[in-house]
Structure 1
Amino acid sequence: MIIAHSERIVRERSDRSLDCESLMRDTIARLITAIGESCDRSGIVRM
């Protein structure tokens, strides 16, 4: 799931020229957000 999510982000962003650090920061921020959204209130991750 996380790898597929990362690949989708890279594809979405590939039309813009980005340095590696910027892409990495954006990818990590989106992954953290996605993981946070998939957790319920008890902290258990739903897949």
Structure 2
Amino acid sequence: PHSEIAALAIFLDRLNQKKGTDPLTQEYFESKLKLIPQLHGKKVINEEE
């Protein structure tokens, strides 16, 4: 099933490109955590606090 998963990933990537969205940089409504990329690792901010 690896090829099916790869095909789905490519399809979703092309769909997001057509919509003009990037799920890796998109802000999500009512998210509980915010991830900020760093040079080494990531910074996690808890929005509920």
TM-score by structure 2 length?
0.40
Q: Which of these two proteins has the greater Rg computed from alpha carbons? A: 2
Of structures 1 and 2, the one scoring higher in RCO (CA 8 A, sep 6+) is 1
- Which structure is higher in helix share? 1
